[in-house]
Every structure is written in structure tokens, then in C-alpha cells.
A and B are shown apart, each in its own frame.
Chain A
Amino acid sequence: MSEYNKKRFLVIDDQPQARDALRTIAQTIGAFAVEFASNYQDAIYRIRNNSPDIILCDYVLGEGRSGQQLLEELRRFNLLPDETIFMMVTGEQSYEQVVSAVELVPDDYIIKPFSPDKLVLRLDRIIAKKNFFAAYYQEKRKQEYARALAILEAQRSSETGRPYRFEIQRQQAEVLLASGDAEASEKAYRSILENYEFPWARAGVARSLHKQNRLTEARAEIDKVVDSTPHFFDASDLKASICMAQGEHAEAQKVLDEVAKKTPRNYLRKRMLAEAATLNGDSETARATMADVIANDTMPGAISPEDRLTMARSHLDGNDKISAEKVLVGLRDVEIQAMNLAEQASFAALLAISSPEKGKARFAGLRPALLASELGPTTSLDVMRAALSVSDHELADLHAEQLMAGIEAKKVFGAIRKQYALYGRETDFREIQKQVALKRIHHEEKSQA
């Protein structure tokens, strides 16, 4: 048995009696230091401040939140080192189906009631596994992907790696995807699927195809996953992203709306819903959703300037310039100074639209930078819109052209057309569209020659 008396435990459960029961079991196996967290916020606070060695987390956390959501949030915000053991404790059989489907999984889960001996058996196995992967975890944390992959490759063919072959393959696919080699990650996920139809591996194929901008294929793959495993919520998020990239904003909004109802306190998902609603022209849903996010996402530092910009954008979409201005003016100077170029550009553009007298000068000051740089699609749209509003045709047309020639063209096409129509420049829009198409054909001819 490992020395559990030296490990720091954190027990997360909203029910006092169940919490005591978990502590008792932990103490029975030798645990000396056992901390408690009674809710979601408290758990995040404790893990962030002083990461425990072993987390025993109940699946049902109350207030519309689950242990799975906590785990996903911890992993996404990099608050959970690979070395920390996360064990889900559950009386729900349905959790097994979640674990078998999703991409972000705990180290293990255990079903109540269970004996101290069984917990020790499970923890011992996890510790052995973590020791096996220790060197890999270090390289992965440093984002030394080539070295991480080399370690996994050597382990895959080793005899000691035999009990972990599926896990090695899964890690290989994830690292390939994280390193940006989407073709290799697609291949890795497909080779896992040859063995068994795991939903997370199918989703990995879709994710890899999406990164390669092979949207139709990506959509076909993710549709399979969402249809067969409706409790795999991240798959719905991925489907929505792919739909948006395809320009199918109504479908994206529908998918996100359904899944957001089941996870009312997942605010990353709500942000996506706001984005889909904006693209879909449903400014009221976008505005209400962002208001919910800003009021209720209580993760420390969770509300970013980007969120405020999104909020302002949704007010503008709803023709409420006064509210948009209020949101923008409410940003503090330090926040604005800390923004990157894209955010500064969006801020200036949105302010110029909502309040020309306050924003026009700032927007004009950025003009040389805006003519010289390619910004992300969201910012580019903001700039185009502001330029149209101040009749700066050169700047507007440049960004419209960049957007339509870019890889996210389908996503933003409808929004560009709408804005040009708003300023009576439909003919110019069609001309830009034609130019972009001609350039593309020319480019393709050249590359074929």
C-alpha cells in the first residue's frame, strides 16, 4: 500500500453526511490531512490555492452543477496538474456512460457503496499509472510536444506499457492535436476506432478534420457522435463550432440552446451560445445570454474584456447604442491598456459605432494599424462595420475582402452582406465577392500549373 498518511486529500461533496462518510473512508486507509469543500466555488478556490494530492469528488454537487463540470473547468483552466489524482465518487450508474463517452475524464470513478479496501485498490492502480507516465507529463506541461511524443512512442512498444496501451494511444492523439498536427491526430484517432467505436475518439476525428478545415467531413463525424451519445455535451459544442464554420448559424444556436438548458451553469458554453446567436442575427438571445454570463460567472477573473466587447456588440446588434456605449465606457483604463491589438481595435470600432463623438478619434488613430494587419474574424467584422459607419470605404472593403478570402468566410458571410446592405452598398459587396472568387480561381490555376 502506498503511504496515504502523507497524501493531502480533498473531499468535495455538498451533503454534510456524505462528506463525513468520505472522510471516514479516507481516514480508514490512513489519510491524515483531509480537507473539505462543500461547493463548486470552494472546491476551485482550494485546488487553485494549494493543489491536493488526491481529490475525492462526488458527482452530484447541487446548484445545477456536477463533478464532471468541475473536472472539465479545472482541466480547461489548467488548474489540475496531471500528477493530482481526481477520483469521482458516485451513486449514479449513469456516470459510467458519461466517462465512457467524453474526452475529459477523471483518473477513475468509484460507485457507492464501496469499501476502504476497494478505494485503496483503485488508488494504488492510479498511482502506478501516474508513475508510469511521469516523464511524459513533464514534457507535456512544458509543451515540448516532440519529446512528449517520443516518450509515448517508446512506451507503446515496451512490455511495461502493455497495461496502458489504450491510454498511450489516446495521449498520443491528444498531443498531436494540441501540437497542431491535425492530419496525424486524425490518423491516431482513426486507429483507436479500428479497435472500438469510442465516442471520444470519433469526436477526436471530427476535431482533427475541423482543424484541417474539412468541414463537411467533420460535420458528418460529429453528427454520429451527438446522435448516439446525447450526454456527451462537449460533442454538441464541437458540432456547434463546425456548424458556425459552415455558416449554419441557426443549427449551431439550436444545438447549443438544447445543451445549455441541461448545463445551466456552464458559462463557456453560454458564451458560445451568444456567439452563435449573434451570427444567427438573434441579438436578443445574444444579449440576454451575455448578461447571464457577466452576472453569474463567478470564477475569479472569468469575465474578460472580451466578454464586455461581446456584450456591447450584442447591444449594437439590437440597435441599442446607448447600452453598448455604457458597457464600453464602463471598461477601466487599465483593462483597455492591457488589451491586445485585436481587442483594442474591436473596442475602438464598437465605440465609434455606438458613440461617434467619443470613439471616432480613437478609431481614426488606429487606422494605419488596421490597414496593415490581419485581425481575427470577429475583430475584422467590427472594424469593417465601424469603417462603413464613418464611410471609410478603403478600410471597410479591405477587411471585407480579408474576411471573405479567409478560412472562416462561410462563418461571417451573412454578417458582411447584411452590413453592406445597411449602408446601401450591395453592389460594392457583390464586386468584392467577385474579386475574391476571381483571385481564388487564379490562385488555384497557378497552383495546378
Chain B
Amino acid sequence: MHKLLDILASGVHDAKNQLFIAESLIAAAEAKHGLKMSEARYAIEAAGNRLSRTLAAYGILRHDAALGVTPVLVGDLCEEVVLAQKSHLAGQDIALTVDCQVFDEWPLDRDLVTDMLNNAVQNAGRFARSRISLSAREDGGWLVLSVEDDGPGFATLPPTHGTGLMVADRLAALHARKGQQGSLHLSNGSSLGGARFELRLP
């Protein structure tokens, strides 16, 4: 029964190893020749994330996806998203700002939540004019993570769900604590005037 999952997981694992070899070679070339090839590395990491997300989506469709929850410092989480996205966005003249008002650890699946936020920032980057903001705050026992842009906003609400959104929606709901479940909210209520992605975790 697990055979298909094992084959997929092993394929993804090998592919990510190859991507890592490619990234290390680029990093070495950058250091040796004083080059800046961050867009090449960005593409490699995006491919890696895409593979991970595909595997996660498969698990979700089989209804046996499980989270790996650890206490995560929310500021660290935001910092990693910025590290992954900032330079790429700067290349498109889009500024990414962070406002993290949560200073404690929060129990969540670090890799999945980081991937969701990366994905949201990437999506925002396609529509934003010049600004994206990532923010974190606590609201009555909930952790609220949001990504807003100054683009035109969603044409229809709710937006037509692609794989990424379906996965994010289900992964949010898998975050359960003290009888409450996480959720995802998409709207045009951005304080920057465009789309707003909001992830609420218990």
C-alpha cells in the first residue's frame, strides 16, 4: 500500500540531492569568480520546494498527511521567508517588509508553514506593484500570519483554487491544538490596497 508513496518519496529525495549538488557548484563558482547568481539559486530552491509540495499534496489526497510540530520562534520563521524571497523580489523592484509582533515560540510545522508563506509571497510577487508586507501578530490565542500586496487584488473571491491553495488550506486545518483548527483566509482587504493572504493557527 505504501509502495507508491515510497517510490515518489525516494524520487523526490534523489532529485533534491541533485539540486543541492547544483546549488553547491553555483555557490562555489560565485565565491571563486566573484559572481552573483542568486536567481539561478532561487530557481533551484523553488524547484526543491515545488517537489516537497507535490509530495505533501499527495499525502493530503491520501488523507494520511501528518505534521511535524515543533516550537518555532515566529521571528525566525519570518526571517527565513525574507532570506528566500527578498533578493528575487528586489530584482523586480518590489520591496518586502516584515512586521513581526510575536516574540515567543509557537508550536507549528516549521517547514510546511515556511513553504506556505514562501508560496504566498511568490504569488503576491506576481501581482504586486512595488510592495509586499509579511506580518505576524497574536490575536486572542491565535497566531495570525499575513501576506499583503499593493496589486489589483483577486479578480474573483474566493479565487479559483489551484493545487498550492488546496494544499495550504488543508495543511492549515491540520494544525490543531486544544480542539481548534487552523484556517486560511484570502481577501482583498490588504492594508496596501491589494490581495491579503491570512493564515490563522491555534
Report which A residues bind B (CB closer than 8 A). 15, 17-18, 20-22, 24-25, 27-28, 60, 91-94, 96-101, 111-118, 121, 125, 162-163, 165-167, 195-198
The answer to whether A196 and B55 touch (CB under 8 A), given A99-B68, A99-B70, is no
Are A17 and B105 CB-contacts (below 8 A) given A93-B56, A118-B83, A198-B69? no
- How far does the alpha carbon of A101 sit from the alpha carbon of B28 in the complex, in Å? 36
Neighbouring A residues of B187 by C-beta, 8 Å:
none
CB pair A111–B24 under 8 Å, yes or no, is no
Looking across the interface, which residue of chain B has its beta carbon closest to that of A58? B17
| A-side contacts of B44, CB under 8 Å | 113
Establish whether residues B41 and A115, one from each chain, have CB atoms under 8 Å apart when the complex forms: yes
CB distance B21 to A121 under 8 Å? no
Q: Say yes or no for B73: interface residue by CB 8 A criterion.
A: yes
Given A112-B48, A113-B45, 20 more pairs with CB closer than 8 A: A15-B17, A20-B21, A20-B24, A24-B24, A91-B13, A91-B14, A91-B17, A93-B12, A93-B55, A94-B9, A97-B67, A100-B68, A112-B16, A113-B16, A113-B19, A113-B22, A115-B23, A118-B84, A166-B105, A198-B69
Q: How far is the CA of A377 from the CA of B52 in the complex (A)?
A: 50
User: Which residues from chain A contact B73 at a C-beta distance below 8 Å?
Assistant: 163
* CA A154 to CA B44, docked complex, whole Å: 45
**Residue on A nearest B56 in the bound complex, by CB:** A93
What is the minimal beta-carbon distance from B69 to any residue of chain A, in angstroms?
5
Q: Are A111 and B111 in contact (CB under 8 A)?
A: yes
Query: Does B41 contact A166, Cβ atoms closer than 8 Å?
Result: no
Is the CB of B109 closer than 8 A to any CB of chain A?
Answer: yes
Residue contact B177 to A196, C-beta cutoff 8 Å: yes
Chain B residues lying within 8 Å of A91, measured Cβ to Cβ, are: 12-14, 16-17, 20
A-B pairs with the 4 shortest C-beta distances?
Answer: A96-B68, A100-B68, A21-B24, A166-B71
CB–CB B70/A121 < 8 A: no
The smallest C-beta distance from A30 to any residue of chain B, in angstroms, reads: 10
Q: Which single member of A60, A121, A195 contacts B80 (CB below 8 Å)?
A: A121
Q: Measured between alpha carbons, how far is A165 from B16 in the docked complex, in Å? A: 34
| Residues of B59-81 whose CB lies within 8 A of A | 66-71, 73, 75-76, 79-80
Known A93-B56, A112-B20, A113-B48: A196·B105 in contact at CB below 8 Å: no
Q: Which residues of chain B are near A28, meaning CB under 8 Å?
A: 24, 27-28, 30-31
Distance, CA A121 to CA B84, complexed state (A)? 12
Q: Does B104 contact A (CB under 8 A)?
A: yes
Asked whether A163 lies within 8 Å of B24 as measured between CB atoms, the reply is no
By the criterion CB–CB under 8 Å, are B24 and A118 in contact?
A: no
Check B166 for interface membership: any CB of A closer than 8 A.
no
Given contacts A28-B28, A112-B48, A163-B103, contact A118 B80 (CB under 8 A): yes
A121 touches B79 (CB 8 A): yes
Beta-carbon contact of A92 and B70 below 8 Å: no
Residue of B nearest to A120 (CB): B83
A25 and B27: CB pair below 8 A?
A: yes
Residues of A within 8 A of B66 (CB): 97
Shortest CB-to-CB span from B46 to chain A, Å, is 10
Please list 21 pairs of residues, one from A and one from B, whose beta carbons are closer than 8 Å in the complex, sorted by A's number: A21-B21, A22-B24, A24-B27, A28-B31, A92-B9, A93-B56, A100-B70, A100-B109, A101-B68, A112-B16, A112-B20, A113-B16, A113-B20, A113-B22, A113-B23, A114-B23, A115-B27, A118-B84, A121-B79, A165-B104, A165-B105
